């Protein structure tokens, strides 16, 4: 299956290449890359370019130009303006805590534009593995419910089209991003999402330091936001989206206008 436009390669070799290009001003001849990264020296430029082209296929972060030169094409996510950026706030339900052994059973997403929720994407997923009883007790999602649900691979393209190049947002984003990328990697071998992300746990810790804790229900209570269907992807994602809209307003009141500043600021 060909890679999708908003996927990049999840590869140590690719990362080494990116760092090598950064260290050399963002541009290098293909032969130099073949020599230093692929460890294949003394190739002519044309053949070196063929080898490198195969390495960077489907990864928009690196361009191979007609003169056999590689050039970095890294987006500067930190410069994205909060007021102008599209966000996808999402949540996942899973069979356990650690992918790839644990799988996703549900995903819920809400799209935010201009500070408003404008669209949604939600589906159960067949994890192709039994759901542990304690997970079913927590989420209410049972093996019977997901038996006829689509596989992640069957909804992957629709999901990626919905996400587009938006900034991803989640409560404890590292967890949800990890599961999303594990499922992406199963469907598009060796790939992960290119999208940058923000975490509402981290933002709420900075913006609301006096809260007893920064669990989803605690932050939601602070903003008087009800959570319908707690521990279901759609309900938790909707609450997180409403929380994020409030956090965006708080950031703007503090004069924080871009993604980079939102990540780095301290109260």
Q: What confidence tier does 184 reach under pLDDT thresholds 50, 70, 90?
A: very high
Most distant CA atoms of the chain, gap in Å:
66
Q: Which two tokens stand for residue 76?
A: 């500067």
State residue 3's pLDDT score. Answer: 65
State residue 254's pLDDT score. Answer: 94
Summarize the confidence of residues 81-109 as an average pLDDT: 96
**183 touches 152 (CB < 8 A):** yes
**Angstrom distances, CA of residue 152 to CA of 93, 155, 158, 223, 238:** 13, 5, 10, 33, 21
Summarize the confidence of residues 137-161 as an average pLDDT: 97
Handedness of CA 238, 239, 241, 245 (dihedral sign): positive
- pTM equals 0.92
State residue 265's pLDDT score. Answer: 85
Q: What's the mean pLDDT when you consider all of the chain?
A: 94
State residue 100's pLDDT score. Answer: 87
**60 touches 10 (CB < 8 A):** no
Please state, in angstroms and rounded to a whole number, the distance separating the CA atoms of residues 170 and 204.
Answer: 12
State residue 60's pLDDT score. Answer: 87
Q: What confidence tier does 59 reach under pLDDT thresholds 50, 70, 90?
A: confident
Q: What confidence tier does 1 reach under pLDDT thresholds 50, 70, 90?
A: very low
DSSP code per residue over 91-137: EEEESSSSTTTS-EEEEEEEEEETTEEEEEEEEE---SSPPPHHHHH
Q: Which of 77, 217, 222, 231 is catalytic?
A: 231
**36 touches 20 (CB < 8 A):** yes
Please state, in angstroms and rounded to a whole number, the distance separating the CA atoms of residues 49 and 56.
Answer: 10
Summarize the confidence of residues 19-29 as an average pLDDT: 95
9: DSSP letter: E
Domains located in the chain, CATH noted? 7-72 (no CATH), 80-264 (3.30.420.10)
The four Cα atoms 129, 134, 137, 138 give a dihedral, to 10 degrees, of: -100
Catalytic, 171? Answer no
What angle do helix axes 233-253 and 200-207 make, rounded to 10 degrees?
40
Give residue-wise pLDDT tens across range 215-228. 999 999 999 999 99
């Amino acid at each position: 299956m060909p890679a999708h436009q908003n996927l990049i390669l999840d590869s140590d070799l690719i990362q080494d290449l990116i760092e090598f290009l950064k260290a050399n001003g963002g541009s290098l001849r293909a032969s130099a890359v073949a020599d230093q990264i692929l460890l294949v020296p003394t190739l002519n430029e044309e053949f070196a370019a063929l080898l490198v082209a195969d390495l960077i296929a489907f990864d928009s972060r690196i361009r191979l130009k007609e003169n056999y030169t590689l050039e970095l094409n890294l987006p500067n996510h930190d410069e994205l303006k909060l007021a102008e950026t599209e966000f996808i706030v999402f949540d996942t339900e899973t069979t356990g805590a650690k992918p790839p052994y644990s799988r996703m059973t549900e995903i819920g997403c809400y799209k935010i534009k201009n500070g408003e929720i404008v669209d949604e994407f939600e589906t159960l997923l067949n994890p192709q593995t039994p759901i542990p009883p304690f997970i079913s007790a927590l989420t209410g999602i049972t093996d019977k419910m997901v038996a006829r649900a689509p596989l992640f691979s069957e909804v992957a393209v629709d999901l990626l089209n919905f996400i587009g190049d938006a900034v991803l947002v989640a409560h404890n984003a590292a967890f949800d991003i990890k599961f999303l990328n594990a499922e992406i990697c199963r469907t598009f071998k060796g790939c992960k999402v290119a999208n940058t992300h923000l975490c509402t746990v981290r933002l709420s810790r900075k913006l609301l330091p006096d809260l007893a804790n920064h669990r989803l229900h605690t932050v939601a209570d602070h903003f008087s936001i009800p959570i319908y269907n707690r521990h279901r992807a759609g309900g938790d994602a909707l609450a997180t989206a409403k929380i994020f809209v409030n956090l965006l307003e708080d950031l703007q009141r503090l004069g924080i206008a871009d993604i980079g500043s939102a990540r780095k600021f301290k109260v």
